[in-house]
Chain A
Amino acid sequence: MIRRLLSPVAGFVAARPVLCFLAVFAVFPFLVPYKALATQVLIFGLFALGFNLLYGYTGLLSFGHAAYYGLGAYGTGIALAKLKVGTLWGGLGAGLGTAALGGAVIGFFCLRRRGIYFAMLTLAFAQLLYFIGFHAADWTGGDDGLRGIPRLPLSLGGLAVTLDTPLAFYYFCYVLVGLAVAALKRILDSPFGAVLQAIRENPGRAVACGYDIDRVKWLSFVFSAIFTGLAGSLDALRLSVVPIESLYWTTSGQVVIMTLLGGAGTFFGPFVGAATFLVLEDRLSLFTESWPLFVGAIFVSFVLFLPRGIWGTLAAKLR
């Protein structure tokens, strides 16, 4: 009965994912306990979306996505706080550019090895960036974090919109993340996206079909880094600080947990996972300092019993 009612809904969601995303997140801030949580879900959902493009769709498990998140955050932060770039767009562009460049270079190295080695290499390179960020304190603020990032007003044509209120900033993120979601949909529906999924399913056959899979994987890596970098940039604006932990491996671990909780390789999994993780963290930390213990245990049981994640399992049930 429930299934018969929900099946058409699921069908609509699968057919018009971008529209559904826009509809849900248009009212999302009014459904959660406080507005800041809604913004966090958007930003971390985008972070997980970037990771999911590489892991869920291309089949490459990166354990170093903190690198591009941190590069996006520091790129924007340094441009706005140190170089005094006068526009918001300039700051965002600097973050995206830094993350894309980092993804291009690190991707080149990591893609020299496959499978498990790839995971370890991405982790190692992210850790390298962490230590560089830690020691280059003149630029990054080192251990104290990069402080004093201004949230400049948004200029659209001759119009300047201030982003001072939580709700204004939320809808600013909403538009940018919405564009990213639409871009992801476009990528996945393109022939390029089909090759990505072919590589995940059977790399050998993808090569045999004549695709240059090394180039496709590298491009997927760079796209993933750009999405992730945008998340980092937005988070730098949200907090007006870039903590050094944004480059630390625990950040990479967080995005892995979020994506798998929601469902790797599913369109909405990253946002469902980010929301689940953040709500769990928010609620559990009220009761205990050891909340990572519970999140870790939940994650372990997901790997064991629910490898498709929340959204993946639901979607499979309703199909």
Chain B
Amino acid sequence: MDISASALVAQVFTGLVLGGIFVLLAVGLSLIFGLMTVVNFAHGSLYMLGAYFGFFLLGLSGSFWVALAFAPLMVGVFGVIVERTLIRPLYGRSPDDPLLLTFGLSAVLVELVRLIWGKVGLQFDPPRALAGAVDLGFMHFPVYRLFVIAVTVVVLIGLWLFLERTNVGLVIRAGSRDPLMVRALGIDLGRIWRLVFGIGAALAGLAGILAGPMRGVYAEMGVTIIIESFVVVVVGGMGSLLGAIVAGILIGEVVSLTTFFAPKLAEIMVFVFMAAILLVRPSGLFGEAGLLE
């Protein structure tokens, strides 16, 4: 294989890594939206918190693995607290209100992180075991990025099993179809909502700590990625997990390949791609028309 072709393949892999990060964020957004019609603008800030909590835990324990295990958990708990205190009073009001509230919250979180950890970004290295590159036969690829792809796949399979094979998963799926009927069966949906918000937050936190060593850790890191995640969700179809996965990978590849061929257009292509999808399929690739509008 000649050099440019293997560079292209490497770029496709890079797109897959970026796509994995998008998928983790979009799945959480979509899950939260599907169940409680809340668009979580603060999702990017939770992603950012994941990276900062990870950095904090890494400094405390000296182990990347401890940080990787506990940072998403901390973000998940934080998400539960946010749902309980700030979002819960807004149920029953216009669906715009949680969006506005989480928008304000994200501004607060960015400023708080700046106060605590400073304005300058942090250096967050991948652990030694995952440093360096691996020879895939036709190209070299950073081990850490392969690890990110692997973690994403494992987490998504776990999430799928949880939703499809457990009783709680069944209630979650039922709750997003027909909350009234689920309530009528005597199930406390409030607790389920809190749980799902926590899971979504934890997934965002996981995406943050995974992205930290690749994309840098800084207070505004969640700001641009939340907009791209919104695009993923719009393209995939809101509330559809499969849509979030397919669209996340597609957008990851769009960014990565445009960066390869025309770096200046990379950010623009994402939105052009979205506009094109909207013209052809207004409800997204896997979305149902009219769902929760």
Q: Mark B273-284, 1 if CB is under 8 A from A, else 0.
A: 011001100110
Which residues of the partner chain B approach A112 to less than 8 Å between Cβ atoms? 278, 282
User: Residue B187 at the A interface, CB < 8 A?
Assistant: no
Which residues on B are within 8 Å of A, measured CB to CB? 33, 37, 39, 86, 89-90, 93, 95-97, 99-101, 103-105, 107-108, 110-112, 114-115, 223, 227, 230-231, 233-234, 238, 264, 267-268, 271-272, 274-275, 278-279, 282-283, 292-293
7 CB < 8 A contacts A-B: A116-B99, A120-B231, A124-B231, A127-B271, A303-B100, A307-B93, A307-B97
Q: Give the distance to chain B from A197, nearest Cβ to Cβ, in Å.
A: 15
Instruction: Indicate whether A117 reaches chain B with its CB closer than 8 angstroms.
Output: yes
Partner of B90, one of A292, A293, A304: A304
Using CB atoms, name the residue of chain A closest to B274: A124
A167 interface residue (CB < 8 Å to B)? no
Within 8 Å of chain B (Cβ to Cβ): is A253?
yes
Interface size class of A (residues with CB under 8 A): 35 or more
Interface flags for A284-301 (1: CB within 8 Å of B; 0: not) read 000000101101110110
Q: Which of A131, A257, A260, A290 contacts B114 (CB 8 A)?
A: A290
Q: Are B95 and A115 in contact (CB under 8 A)?
A: yes
A319 within 8 A of B: no
Q: Could you give, for residues 118-146 of chain A, a 1 whenever the CB lies within 8 Å of some chain B CB and a 0 otherwise?
A: 01110111011001100100000000000
Known: A131-B267, A297-B108. A304 touches B101 (CB 8 A): yes
Q: Which residues of B contact A78 (CB under 8 A)?
A: none
Q: Across the interface, which residues of A come within 8 angstroms of B293, CB to CB? A: 113-117
A61 at the B interface (CB under 8 A): yes
Which label, helix, strand, loop or mixed, suits the secondary structure of the B interface? helix
Tell whether, in the assembled complex, residue B234 and residue A117 are in contact, meaning their CB atoms are under 8 Å apart: yes
Instruction: Name the residue in A117, A253, A304 with the highest tally of chain B Cβ atoms < 10 Å from its Cβ.
Output: A117
Closest to A61 in B: B96
Contact A296 B107 (CB under 8 A): yes
CA distance A304 to B82 in the complex (A): 13
Known: A119-B39, A125-B271, A304-B86. A296 touches B100 (CB 8 A): no
A113 to B108, CA, bound (A): 29
Contact A124 B230 (CB under 8 A): yes
Residues of B within 8 Å of A109, CB to CB, are 275, 278-279
Besides A119-B96, A303-B101, 18 new A-B residue pairs in contact (Cβ under 8 A), listed by A number: A109-B278, A112-B278, A112-B282, A113-B278, A115-B292, A116-B39, A120-B39, A121-B278, A128-B272, A131-B267, A132-B268, A293-B115, A296-B108, A299-B107, A300-B86, A300-B105, A303-B100, A304-B89
Partner of B107, one of A120, A124, A295: A295
B99 to chain A, nearest CB (A): 6
Chain B residues in 8 Å Cβ range of A114: 293
**A43 at interface by CB-CB < 8 Å:** no
Closest chain A CB from B235 CB (angstroms):
10
Q: CB within 8 A of A299: which of B39, B104, B233?
A: B104
Given the complex of chains A and B, what is the CA–CA distance between A290 and B107 in angstroms? Answer: 10
- Does A256 count as interface, using CB distance less than 8 angstroms? yes
Which residues of chain A have C-beta atoms less than 8 A from B111's C-beta? 290, 292-293, 296
Which residue, of B86, B97, B104, B292, has the highest number of chain A Cβ atoms within 10 A?
B104
Question: Which among B33, B86, B105, B274 is the interface contact of A296 at CB below 8 angstroms?
Answer: B105
Q: How distant is the Cα of A127 from the Cα of B44 in the complex, in angstroms?
A: 16
A256-B103, A292-B107 known; A128 vs B271 contact (CB < 8 Å): yes
B234 partner, pick from A124, A132, A256, A299, beta carbons under 8 A? A124
Among residues of A, the one whose C-beta sits closest to the C-beta of B107 is: A296
Known: A296-B104, A303-B104. A116 touches B97 (CB 8 A): no
Interface centre among B39, B100, B107, B234 (most CB of A within 10 A): B100
Residues from chain A with Cβ under 8 Å of B39 in the complex: 116, 119-120
Q: Determine if A249 is an interface residue (Cβ-Cβ < 8 Å).
A: yes
CA gap between A260 and B104 in the complex, in Å: 11
Cα-based distance from A127 to B230 in the complex (angstroms): 12
Decide: B278 and A290 in contact? CB cutoff 8 A: no
List B contacts of A303 (CB < 8 A).
90, 97, 100-101, 104
Chain B contacts for A304, CB-based, 8 A: 86, 89-90, 101
A124 touches B227 (CB 8 A): yes
Bound-state Cα–Cα, A252 to B148, Å: 34
Say whether, besides A116-B99, A297-B108, A135 and B268 are in contact (CB < 8 Å): yes
Q: Are A123 and B95 in contact (CB under 8 A)?
A: no
A299 to B275, CA, bound (A): 32
Q: Give A112 to B293 CA distance when docked, in angstroms.
A: 11
Residue on A nearest B89 in the bound complex, by CB: A304
**Which residues of chain B have C-beta atoms less than 8 A from A63's C-beta?**
103
Contact present for B282 and A124 (CB under 8 Å) = no
> Inside 8 A of B110's CB, which chain A residues have their CB?
292
User: Would you give the shortest CB distance from A233 to chain B, in whole angstroms?
Assistant: 25
A119 / chain B contacts, CB cutoff of 8 Å: 39, 96, 99
- How near does chain A come to B226, taking the closest CB pair, in angstroms? 9
Which 8 residue pairs across A and B have the least CB separation, nearest first? A296-B107, A293-B111, A128-B271, A296-B108, A299-B104, A300-B104, A114-B293, A120-B230
Q: Are A300 and B101 in contact (CB under 8 A)?
A: yes
A116 touches B268 (CB 8 A): no
The docked-state distance in angstroms from the alpha carbon of A112 to that of B275 is 11
CB distance from B229 to the nearest CB of A (A): 10
Chain A residues in 8 Å Cβ range of B238: 116-117
A123 to B229, CA, bound (A): 12
